[in-house]
Amino acid sequence: FDQIFWVLESRRAASSSRRTSAGTQARPIVAMLEKLDLLLVACFTGFVQIGVWVVVPLGAVYALTRYFYAASAVFAMYALSYLDGAECKVTKNRTWPTFSRRFWLFTFFRRVYQQRVHLPPGFDPPQFILALHPHGSMADYRVILDGQLLEMMGRASGKVRWLAASVLFRLPIVRELCLWTGCVDARREVAEQVLSQGLSIGVIPGGELEQVQTVHGHDAVYLKKRLGFVKLALRFGVPLVPAYVFGCVDLYKTSKVAYSARLALVRHLGIAIPICWGAFGLPLTPLRQPIDIVIGEPIDVGHRPQPTGEEVEAAHAKYMQALEQLYESNKAKFGCANRRLDVR
């Protein structure tokens, strides 16, 4: 993969040089390379979303069949890591900052998505709960955001833990990607551990339900019934930080095929199966669309160790108002001037 990446980059640089000297002659080559970029993104996304369920079991069976003793030793060593519960124990820190910043695939994704992060001036709270909206058909932006925040944050740099669905930690390879980029299990007791250790939390409140409800070109957030992250902020006295991801609902075309069945899977099993496609009509292949993550000002919701229902609802209403203001004040900058935010 490294060799493929650097070959593509060298060809891109060469085509850029030719474009400078030969005007429009190199444009077809650049366009071809840009299309290849999207296909490579689709390959990785497809492997993580679908392929890992097939490739890993088949690879394990093949290895045990051909190299039983060696494979058994490798699997036994991996089991020690797989079963250690690092996703639920904050003290078992598996974050890998260099990986988040410099892993070639992440830097490649940032360039393809043209992902930019916009922080308010002087943003430097020591601890907070950062909420990203919306989830979108895919949330690749979250994985590559971790490395960007490491470069941009002040006192909180390297101290953000992202809440992720429990099922992700059951999948080899996906588990490691999550742990290395700062993810922990999304259960309440784990989130409480994170905050009690003085760390910050990153969360996508809409979760899997928002993922399957994503409609191409429609800015919508599933938030009215998401009170858990607000209650955490009140209990630990940390500010809430809203963030809107402009462009993520435009990356893929979406379908309502088998929508009821997919919705039931989310509600009963916590498994989201998005049906989406993009460039060339291929599944999981994104359209060429920039991603702009706009982070708002911290919202002080106070400190209530045992908040009442009314206090939680009041803080939640304050947060929703701040999110809508963040959206309205920035939407024209990122090509969404004629849209309205649908808060569900």
Q: How do strand 253-254 and strand 276-277 relate by DSSP bridges?
A: antiparallel
* 279 contacts 285 by C-beta, under 8 angstroms: yes
What is the structure's pLDDT at 229?
97
What is the structure's pLDDT at 44?
85
Q: Is the full-model pTM beyond 0.85?
A: yes
* 203 contacts 192 by C-beta, under 8 angstroms: no
Q: Could you tell me where the beta strands, DSSP code E, fall in 134-212?
A: 160-164, 183-185, 200-203
Tokens encoding 147: 């490395």
What φ, ψ does residue 213 adopt, rounded to 5°?
A: -90, 0
Q: Could you tell me where the beta strands, DSSP code E, fall in the chain?
A: 116-118, 129-133, 160-164, 183-185, 200-203, 220-221, 240-246, 253-254, 276-277, 292-295, 342-343
What is the structure's pLDDT at 21?
46
What is the structure's pLDDT at 39?
85
CA angle 265, 139, 197 (to 5 degrees): 95
- Among 147, 149, 139, 183, which Cα is nearest to 164's? 183
3-state helix, strand, coil in the chain (%, to 5): 55, 10, 35
Cβ-proximal residues to 215 (8 Å cutoff; 6+ apart), any chain: 249, 254
Distance (Å, whole) CA 82 – CA 84: 6
Q: How many CB atoms lie within 10 A of CB 102?
A: 10
Question: How far is CA 201 from each of CA 164, 195, 322, rounded to the nearest angstrom?
Answer: 11, 7, 19
Q: How do strand 240-246 and strand 220-221 relate by DSSP bridges?
A: unpaired
Q: Give the N- to C-terminal CA distance of the chain in Å, as an integer.
A: 41
Which residues lie across from 184 on neighbouring strands?
163
Q: Which residues of the chain have pLDDT under 50?
A: 1-2, 4-7, 15-23
* 113 contacts 285 by C-beta, under 8 angstroms: no
What is the structure's pLDDT at 277?
93
**DSSP conformation letters of 13-79:** HHHHHHHHHHGGGGHHHHHHHHHHHHHHHHHHHHIIIIIHHHHHHHHHHHHHHHSHHHHHHHHHHHH
- If you search the block for the tokens 């938030």, which residue do you land on? 223
Tokens encoding 80: 């020690």
Tokens encoding 42: 């689709």
What is the structure's pLDDT at 14?
53
Question: How far is CA 327 from each of CA 220, 245, 247, 339, rounded to the nearest angstrom?
Answer: 11, 9, 12, 10
Neighbour-count burial of 33, counting CB atoms closer than 10 A to its CB (0-12 exposed, 13-18 middle, 19+ buried):
middle
Q: How many CB atoms lie within 10 A of CB 342?
A: 12
What is the structure's pLDDT at 19?
45
How large is the greatest C-alpha to C-alpha distance in the chain, in angstroms? 68
